[in-house]
Amino acid sequence: MAAYLLKSEQTPSAVALGVLVDRDYTVKAAGGYLIQPLPGCPEDVLTRLEAAVYTADPVTDMLAEGMRPSTLLNILLPGFKLQLISEGERVYRCGCSAERVERALISLGREELTRLAEERPETEVICEFCRKAYTFTNQELRALIR
C-alpha cells in the first residue's frame, strides 16, 4: 500500500495493519495506521517519522499489549505536539436496506425488471457484504417499474 501511494499519488506514506486472532479464531483486536505528511513537509521531519516507524513494534504486538491509540501515536510520532480529538471503538456495520436494494433493482432498467417479474414469483437479492437476503415478489418488482 505504501509503495502504491508513493508511486501513484507521489505521497510518502507509512501503512501498517494488524489483526490479533484468539485461539478460537475470532478477532480479538484489529488496528493500524496510515501516516502521510502534508505537502512541503521538511526533510528532517520525514527522517524522524521514518525512524520512528522502522523502530516501532508490529501493530499486532502493540494490540496484544492492549496499547491505546494515544500511546501508539506517541510511539509513531515522537516529539510531535499531538492533540487527540476523539477516541472510540470502530465497528463494522453493513449499510444495506430494502430501500437501497430497491434502488439497485431499479438501476437494472425497465426491461430487466419486467423479465425478472415474469420469470419467477419471487426474486431474491443477497447483500454481498453481510449476506442478508431481500426477497421481492413479482408484484413488488412491477411496482418498481412504475
Residue 89 resides in a domain: no
For residue 87, the SS3 value is coil
Number of domains in the chain: 2
Amino acid code (one letter) for 4: Y
For residue 134, the enclosing domain spans: 98-145
Helices (H), 1-146: 2-9, 43-55, 59-64, 69-76, 98-106, 110-119, 138-145
Same domain, 18 and 63: yes
Cα distances (Å, whole numbers) of residue 20 to 52, 55, 140: 22, 20, 45
- Domain match, 53 and 106 both: no
- Residue 67 — very low, low, confident or very high, per pLDDT cuts 50/70/90? confident
User: Domain with 106 in it: what CATH number?
Assistant: 3.90.1280.10
Q: Determine, yes or no, domain membership for 37.
A: yes
What pLDDT, on a 0 to 100 scale, did the predictor assign at position 117? 92
Question: For residues 87 and 20, which has the higher predicted lDDT (pLDDT)?
Answer: 20
Per-residue confidence band for 8, with pLDDT thresholds at 50, 70 and 90: confident
Residue 62 lies in a domain: yes
Is the confidence at residue 112, as pLDDT, over 90?
A: yes
Q: Is the pLDDT assigned to residue 3 strictly greater than 90?
A: no
For residue 119, being part of any structural domain is answered with yes
**13 within some domain:** yes
Q: Which residues of 74-103 are buried (b: 16+ CB within 10 A; e: fewer)?
A: eebbeeeeeeeeeeeeeeeeeebeeeebbe
61 and 107 fall within a common domain: no
pLDDT in tens, 72-111: 888 988 888 888 888 777 777 899 999 999 999 999 999 9
Residue 26 lies in a domain: yes
Q: Same domain, yes or no, for 9 and 52?
A: yes
In a domain, 130, yes or no: yes
> Which domain-ending residue is among 22, 46, 76?
76
In a domain, 92, yes or no: no
Same domain assignment for residues 67 and 115: no
